[in-house]
């Protein structure tokens, strides 16, 4: 434990970093640019190098109390100031506050003739003076390679640039050197990357299918781990924001709280409780299967609980969604008026994919919803590739999870394609996947829904039919036929058949019950008769017994009289009575 | 025509340009007056060489019709900024027109003379 800490500390000491303050970049680079060392920022024309440099200085001056110097070899100071203003930076104020020094270096080749040995002391003196004036800790050279076009002797220039970089390192200035990249196989036009061995960042501005996307990649960062992916970034009125693909890692809390889907029987399919709070749910299906309706139910239920919902409609206008949902008995308008539900509708075609991501981020950060609906994510594929959408969604899902926001993403599956395969790329990001499908049987098209997966909870494996009624989505009973789930008319006829069977059974039971009753009556009647007969018999027997008893007594009496009269031996008589029994044995 | 043998003078003072000088740009005529500024960095070898070289050229070719100012940017970085000095030494020929910059220690006299329009390329 202590050894680990010891081991870690020197590494952080050997490579101190200077925070750029550029949103997301510090996360990719693990803290910023190498402090006191030069960093090369290379990119094609219009890739945002100058703005990168400007923001690096402005953030340094305003957020980290590190004044900066901007040496511009291309743009004039008024141009720079104006460009910076478009990012919301007031350079004039920073210059007046002596937190920033701007210098424009310009010479025209046509005026120059070489007459002997020279060096770039003029430039050095200007830089040294500027650094001293504001006490700079940071410096940007944008784009020093422009000198190659202006100075006649590249040999001298290279030597001098090397000397300049050595000087900057010696002065421990955190330096950003921008360079133009005109060919994909080279970082810089004149190979100055050989002087900058610490950190190289490449900016890229691609236009594909008329949609522009900006990207940033840390090509090299000596002595430091860094993200190696290409990260899309944006330049807008708040500066540059790089959105790292998974900057947040996988350490978000997992809530055990469940939220209702707004559809009772759907809750029932998921352990009776609905989705996990903060989970991401994919609703996929072909067109017209009711994806938006399911989402609307969820939104409606959340708003009823007083939770805030953010709805990104990429296909329909908010009014259209509200109107359509009203037709199934969900009125979203009161929630909009109450401020619980906010719609953001835009076709993602404008601005490209990271624009969408950034706008989404911004709205979520400002509205603080507990539920977010993105309807549909498929539209993003129109402006980007599957990979980009996947990476964008990963980042969005991560972001939402850290905020414990439950998110529903609807996804349109192309008809004819395999329902499950086409979404496989994004589905792994999702915790719960509801698949909506149309079942076509017997000239009908019926809607059905099933839970394809739902992490961490029991869930039904049944395909359930549902109908969209005036009163919302209603899940129907399950009827399994010989070929699977029965839907529509087939279900209705099955329902009828089942009803008939039940009636028949009931009738049959009734008959049996009556039969039994009758039997019982017969039995009881018989019992009564038998008892009566028995009683009669018993009476007769009793009578005969008592009669014979009487008779016997009379006989004894008679005999006694006779004995007494004859004076016979009574014991002899008794003996005669016992012998026959003995003989029998 | 006012003759000047002054080799250095303080910065900021500007000689008025007469129309005759303006009309003959690029001329190596003996009539034209030269306004030259040499930017150096302290007493480095290159700077010292450059000062010696320009003085020699002026004496030989511009006797009495030049105004040379030597500016040490080591102490006045702002002047370097104002004149867009990058390389040192830099000689700026303000007049006659066109403006021209000669960088280097001015040891290649042929090039210096071409640059100052004192010699026509053969």
The answer on pLDDT for B15 being more than 60 is no
pLDDT at A98: 92
Give the mean pLDDT of A281-291: 85
Residue A6 lies in a domain: no
**Same structural domain for residues A472 and A505?**
no
- Domain termination site, one of A210, A242, A274: A242
Instruction: Answer yes or no: do A125 and B74 touch at CB < 8 A.
Output: yes
Q: What is the SS3 assignment for A108?
A: coil
**A128 contacts in chain B (CB < 8 Å):** 77
Burial of A89 (0-12, 13-18, 19+ CB in 10 A): buried
pLDDT at A356: 76
The answer on pLDDT for A134 being more than 80 is yes
Q: Are A145 and A190 in contact (CB under 8 A)?
A: yes
A residues 86..115 contacting B (CB < 8 A): 103, 105-107, 111-115
Nearest by CB to residue A118, choosing from B104, B111, B115, is B104
User: Which residue in chain A has the smallest CA separation from B89?
Assistant: A118
**Same structural domain for residues A519 and A474?**
no
**Same structural domain for residues A214 and A353?**
no
pLDDT at A249: 55
Q: Does B99 touch chain A (CB under 8 A)?
A: yes
The answer on pLDDT for B74 being more than 70 is yes
> How big is chain B, counted in residues?
122
The answer on pLDDT for A177 being more than 70 is yes
The answer on pLDDT for A510 being more than 90 is yes
Residue A122 lies in a domain: yes
**Same structural domain for residues A111 and A81?**
yes
User: Which residue in chain B has the smallest CA separation from A126?
Assistant: B77
- Long-range own/partner contacts, residues A206-215 (CB < 8 A, 24 or more apart): A209/A383, A211/A349, A211/A351, A211/A352, A211/A383, A211/A384, A212/A352, A213/A352, A213/A353, A213/A354, A213/A384, A213/A388, A214/A47, A214/A48, A214/A354
What CATH number is attached to the domain comprising A81?
A: 3.40.50.300
pLDDT at A351: 53
Q: CA-CA distance, A130 to A103, in Å (whole number)?
A: 8
pLDDT at A67: 94
**Same structural domain for residues A55 and A140?**
yes
Top residue of B87, B98, B104, B105 to mutate, by most chain A CBs within 10 Å, is: B87
Q: CA-CA distance, A126 to A118, in Å (whole number)?
A: 16
**Mean per-residue pLDDT over chain A, rounded:** 82
Q: Cα distance from A146 to chain B (closest Cα, Å)?
A: 12
Q: In which band, very low, low, confident or very high, does the pLDDT at A176 lie, cut at 50, 70 and 90?
A: very high
Q: CA-CA distance, A332 to A311, in Å (whole number)?
A: 11
Give the mean pLDDT of A350-371: 76
**Same structural domain for residues A130 and A172?**
yes
pLDDT digits (tens, 9 = 90+) for A386-396: 777 777 788 78
The answer on pLDDT for A537 being more than 50 is yes
pLDDT digits (tens, 9 = 90+) for A474-494: 888 777 666 666 777 777 777
**Same structural domain for residues A427 and A524?**
no
pLDDT at A144: 86
pLDDT at A314: 85
- Domain termination site, one of A441, A456, A478: A478
Domain housing A117? 12-242
Instruction: Answer yes or no: do B86 and A129 touch at CB < 8 A.
Output: no
Q: Does B53 touch chain A (CB under 8 A)?
A: yes
Nearest by CB to residue A115, choosing from B39, B73, B106, is B106
A261-278 CB burial, b ≥16 within 10 A, e <16: bbbebbbbbbeeebbbbb
- Weakest-pLDDT range from A34-43, A432-441, B86-95, B102-111: A432-441
**B37 contacts in chain A (CB < 8 Å):** none
Residue A217 lies in a domain: yes
Q: Does A126 touch chain B (CB under 8 A)?
A: yes
Instruction: Answer yes or no: do A119 and B88 touch at CB < 8 A.
Output: yes
The answer on pLDDT for A1 being more than 50 is no
Provide ipTM, 2 decimals. 0.77
- Weakest-pLDDT range from A294-298, A335-339, A493-497, B48-52: A493-497
Instruction: Answer yes or no: do B105 and A118 touch at CB < 8 A.
Output: yes
Residue A511 lies in a domain: yes
The more confident residue out of A499 and A208 is A499
Q: Strand order in A280-285's β-sheet?
A: A341-345, A309-313, A371-375, A406-412, A280-285, A432-441, A444-454, A464-469, A472-475
Residue A322 lies in a domain: yes
A291-304 helix and A318-326 helix, angle to the nearest 10 degrees: 90
pLDDT at B26: 46
- The residue ranges of every structural domain in chain B are 33-115
Give the mean pLDDT of B107-112: 87
pLDDT digits (tens, 9 = 90+) for A383-423: 667 777 777 788 788 888 878 899 998 888 766 555 554 55
Q: What is the SS3 assignment for A522?
A: helix
Q: Does A128 touch chain B (CB under 8 A)?
A: yes
Burial of A102 (0-12, 13-18, 19+ CB in 10 A): buried
pLDDT at B23: 40
Residue A251 makes CB contacts below 8 A (sequence gap 6+) with: none
Instruction: Answer whether CATH 3.40.30.10 is correct for domain B33-115.
Output: yes
**Same structural domain for residues A323 and A216?**
no
Q: Are A52 and A208 in contact (CB under 8 A)?
A: no
Q: Cα distance from A190 to chain B (closest Cα, Å)?
A: 19
Nearest by CB to residue B111, choosing from A106, A113, A123, is A113
Phi, psi of B119 (to 5 degrees): -150, 135
**Same structural domain for residues A204 and A353?**
no
Give the mean pLDDT of A304-319: 89
Q: Does A76 touch chain B (CB under 8 A)?
A: no
Q: Does B50 touch chain A (CB under 8 A)?
A: yes
The answer on pLDDT for A10 being more than 80 is no
Q: What is the SS3 assignment for A581?
A: helix
Residue A5 lies in a domain: no
Residue A159 lies in a domain: yes
Q: Supply the DSSP string of A217-285, one letter for each residue.
A: EEEEETTS----SEEEEEEETTEEEE--TTTTTT-------EE--S-HHHHHHTTTT-EETT-EEEEEE
Instruction: Answer yes or no: do B81 and A126 touch at CB < 8 A.
Output: yes
Phi, psi of A360 (to 5 degrees): -60, -50
The answer on pLDDT for A276 being more than 60 is yes
Instruction: Answer yes or no: do A106 and B84 touch at CB < 8 A.
Output: yes
The answer on pLDDT for A141 being more than 90 is yes
- Domain termination site, one of A213, A242, A271: A242
pLDDT at A501: 86
Q: In which band, very low, low, confident or very high, does the pLDDT at B121 lie, cut at 50, 70 and 90?
A: low
- Weakest-pLDDT range from A80-89, A315-324, A518-527, B11-20: B11-20
How crowded is residue A205: how many other Cβ atoms within 10 Å of its Cβ? 16
Is the N-terminal amide bond of A307 cis, ω within 30° of 0?
Answer: no
Burial of A506 (0-12, 13-18, 19+ CB in 10 A): exposed
**A105 contacts in chain B (CB < 8 Å):** 84, 86
pLDDT digits (tens, 9 = 90+) for A329-347: 889 999 999 999 999 887 7
pLDDT at B12: 44
User: Which residue in chain A has the smallest CA separation from B39?
Assistant: A122
Q: Does B49 touch chain A (CB under 8 A)?
A: yes
pLDDT at B10: 43
Q: CA-CA distance, A565 to A186, in Å (whole number)?
A: 162
Domain count, chain A: 3
Q: Cα distance from B87 to chain A (closest Cα, Å)?
A: 4
């Amino acid at each position: 434990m202590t050894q680990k800490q010891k081991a870690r500390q020197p590494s952080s000491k050997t490579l101190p970093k200077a925070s750029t303050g550029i949103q997301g970049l510090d996360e990719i680079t693990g803290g910023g640019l190498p402090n006191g060392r030069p960093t090369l920022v290379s990119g094609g024309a219009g890739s945002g190098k100058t703005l990168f440099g400007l923001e690096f200085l402005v953030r340094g001056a305003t957020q980290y109390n590190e004044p900066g110097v901007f040496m511009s070899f291309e743009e004039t100071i008024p141009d720079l100031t104006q460009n910076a203003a478009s990012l919301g930076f007031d350079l004039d104020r920073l210059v007046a506050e002596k937190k920033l020094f701007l210098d424009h270096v310009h010479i025209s080749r046509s005026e120059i003739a070489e007459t002997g040995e020279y060096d770039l002391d003029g430039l050095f003196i200007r830089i040294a003076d500027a650094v001293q004036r504001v006490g700079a800790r940071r410096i940007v050279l944008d784009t020093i390679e422009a000198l190659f076009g202006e100075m006649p002797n590249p040999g001298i220039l290279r030597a001098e640039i090397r000397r300049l970089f050595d000087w900057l390192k010696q002065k421990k200035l955190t330096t950003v050197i921008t360079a133009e990249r005109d060919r994909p196989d080279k970082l810089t036009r004149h190979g100055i990357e050989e002087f900058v061995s610490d950190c190289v960042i490449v900016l890229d501005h691609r236009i594909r299918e008329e949609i522009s996307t900006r990207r940033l990649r840390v090509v090299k960062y000596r002595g430091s781990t860094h993200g190696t992916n290409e990260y899309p970034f944006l330049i807008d009125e708040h500066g540059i924001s790089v959105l790292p693909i998974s900057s947040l890692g996988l350490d978000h809390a997992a809530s055990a709280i469940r939220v209702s889907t707004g559809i009772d029987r759907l809750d029932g399919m998921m352990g009776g409780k609905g989705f996990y709070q903060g989970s991401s749910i994919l609703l996929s299906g072909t067109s017209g299967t009711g994806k938006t309706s399911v989402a609307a139910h969820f939104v409606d239920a959340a708003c009823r609980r007083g939770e805030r919902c953010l709805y990104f409609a990429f296909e329909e206008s908010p009014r259209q969604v509200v109107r359509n949902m009203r037709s199934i008995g969900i009125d979203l308008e009161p929630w909009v008026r109450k401020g619980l539900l906010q719609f953001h509708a835009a076709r993602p075609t404008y601005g490209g994919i990271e624009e969408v991501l950034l706008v989404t981020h911004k709205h979520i950060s400002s509205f603080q919803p507990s539920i977010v609906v993105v309807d549909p994510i498929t539209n993003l594929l129109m402006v980007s590739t599957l990979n980009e959408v996947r990476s964008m969604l990963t980042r969005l899902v991560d972001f939402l999870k850290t905020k414990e926001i439950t998110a529903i993403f609807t996804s349109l599956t192309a008809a004819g394609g395999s329902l499950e395969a086409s979404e496989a790329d994004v589905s792994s990001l999702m915790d719960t996947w509801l698949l909506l499908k149309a079942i076509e049987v017997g000239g009908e098209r019926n809607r059905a829904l099933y839970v394809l997966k739902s992490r961490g909870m029991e869930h039904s494996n049944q395909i359930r039919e549902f109908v969209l009624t005036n009163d919302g989505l209603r899940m129907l009973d399950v009827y399994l036929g010989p070929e699977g789930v029965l839907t529509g008319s087939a279900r209705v006829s099955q329902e009828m058949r089942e009803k008939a069977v039940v009636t028949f059974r009931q009738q049959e039971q009734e008959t049996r019950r009556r039969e039994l009753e009758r039997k019982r009556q017969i039995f009881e009647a018989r019992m009564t008769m038998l008892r009566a007969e028995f009683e009669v018999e018993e009476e007769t027997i009793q009578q005969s017994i008592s009669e014979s008893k009487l008779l016997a007594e009379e006989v004894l009496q008679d005999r006694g009289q006779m004995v007494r009269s004859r004076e016979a031996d009574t014991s002899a008589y008794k003996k005669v009575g016992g012998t026959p029994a003995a003989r029998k044995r | 025509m006012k003759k000047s043998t002054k080799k250095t003078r303080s910065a900021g003072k500007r000689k008025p340009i007469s129309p005759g000088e303006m009309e003959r740009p690029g001329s190596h005529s003996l009539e034209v007056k030269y306004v030259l500024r040499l930017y150096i960095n302290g007493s480095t070898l290159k700077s010292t060489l450059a000062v010696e070289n320009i003085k020699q050229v002026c004496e030989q070719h511009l006797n009495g019709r030049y105004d040379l100012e030597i500016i040490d940017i080591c102490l006045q970085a702002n002047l370097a900024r104002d004149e867009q000095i990058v390389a040192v030494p830099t000689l700026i020929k303000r007049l006659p027109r066109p403006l021209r910059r000669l960088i280097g220690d001015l040891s290649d006299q042929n090039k210096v003379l071409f640059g100052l329009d004192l010699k026509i390329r053969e």
